[in-house]
Amino acid sequence: METRDSVVEIESLEKGLLSEESSKNGDIIEEEDDTTVIYTASFQEMEENFVKYQTTQWVLYSLLSILFWGIGVLMLLYVPVRRFILRKDIQSRKLYVTRDAIIYKATRPVAFPCFGVLKKEKYVLLPSVADIVIEQGYLESFFGVYSVRIENAGVRRPPSDDLKIQGITNPSAFRKAVLNHLSKVRTEAFTRQIYVNEGAPSMTGGHPQVAGMSPPKSIKHDVIAPGELGLLQKLEEVGTSIKRVQKLIEEQQSQA
């Protein structure tokens, strides 16, 4: 039952993302359910630049392959299919930020589109996000294409485990939205922890002391338990013995 419920929630979320409001860049969606979308990234404006950048990169590799291996001719003939795959890929991309995670989904045809498609879904929990890095290489700068890399907070995780997405229209706005929401979540968690620590009872003298209440005043004429009475008697005997020893030492010093 839980699996079916989660599938229904994901489907309802996808329907909301396909609406006109969620297709705008940086659109803020306010809902009352648990799958509230805080920010939705856009790829549509960068479709042409992304396809041109990837095509140029493919052609350069093809020319180098002609010089060294001779298979570059086949790669050049494959360019129209390559462009078709790239368009389908970037048109299917969805990237949005929810209350708890960053969700990325994409569907692209395989190397030969007649054999089906490849689906990719990636969920990055917000507490595990260390930083959002915006990158742009030398060739990317000619076409205005940016890459966004989501770094993990885990020290032992390799860099290859980071999520890298290329072709976001406004990467700076996406980074700002993620970091602002992450800062808000961490602040709320820290405030909640302080509230719990201050509200917890503290032990003072063996009695619980509630925050905001002063400790009880000392009570006069305390009743001494039998065990405490025996301890006081032993302490008095030790004190008497010490006084006797001091007196003997003083007498010996005076005789000398």
**What pLDDT was estimated at residue 229?**
58
Two tokens, residue 212: 């905001």
Nearest-10 Cα torsion for 112, 114, 117, 118:
-30
CB atoms within 10 A of CB 183: 10
- DSSP-based three-state secondary structure for 33: coil
Phi, psi values for residue 113, rounded to 5° = -55, -25
| Residue range 178-204: mean pLDDT, rounded | 75
Two tokens, residue 86: 């790239």
Q: What is the mean pLDDT of the chain?
A: 76
The span from the CA of 147 to the CA of 95, in Å, is 13
CATH architecture of 2-192: Roll (2.30)
Phi, psi values for residue 69, rounded to 5° = -115, -20
| Residue range 111-120: mean pLDDT, rounded | 90
DSSP 200: S
At residue 168, does pLDDT exceed 60? yes
Least confident range of 11-25, 32-46, 144-158, 174-188: 11-25
Res. 169 pLDDT band, cuts 50 70 90: very high
What's the sign of the alpha-carbon dihedral 19, 22, 28, 29?
positive
User: Which are the contacts of 144, defined by CB distance < 8 A and separation ≥ 6?
Assistant: 46, 49
In the chain, at which residue ranges do the beta strands (DSSP E only) sit?
Answer: 37-40, 94-98, 101-109, 117-125, 129-135, 147-152, 163-166, 202-204, 207-209
| Residue range 91-103: mean pLDDT, rounded | 92
Q: Which residue has the higher pLDDT, 227 or 178?
A: 178
Res. 30 pLDDT band, cuts 50 70 90: very low
Two tokens, residue 102: 């960053």
For residue range 54-73, list pLDDT tens digits in order.
999 999 999 988 887 778 88
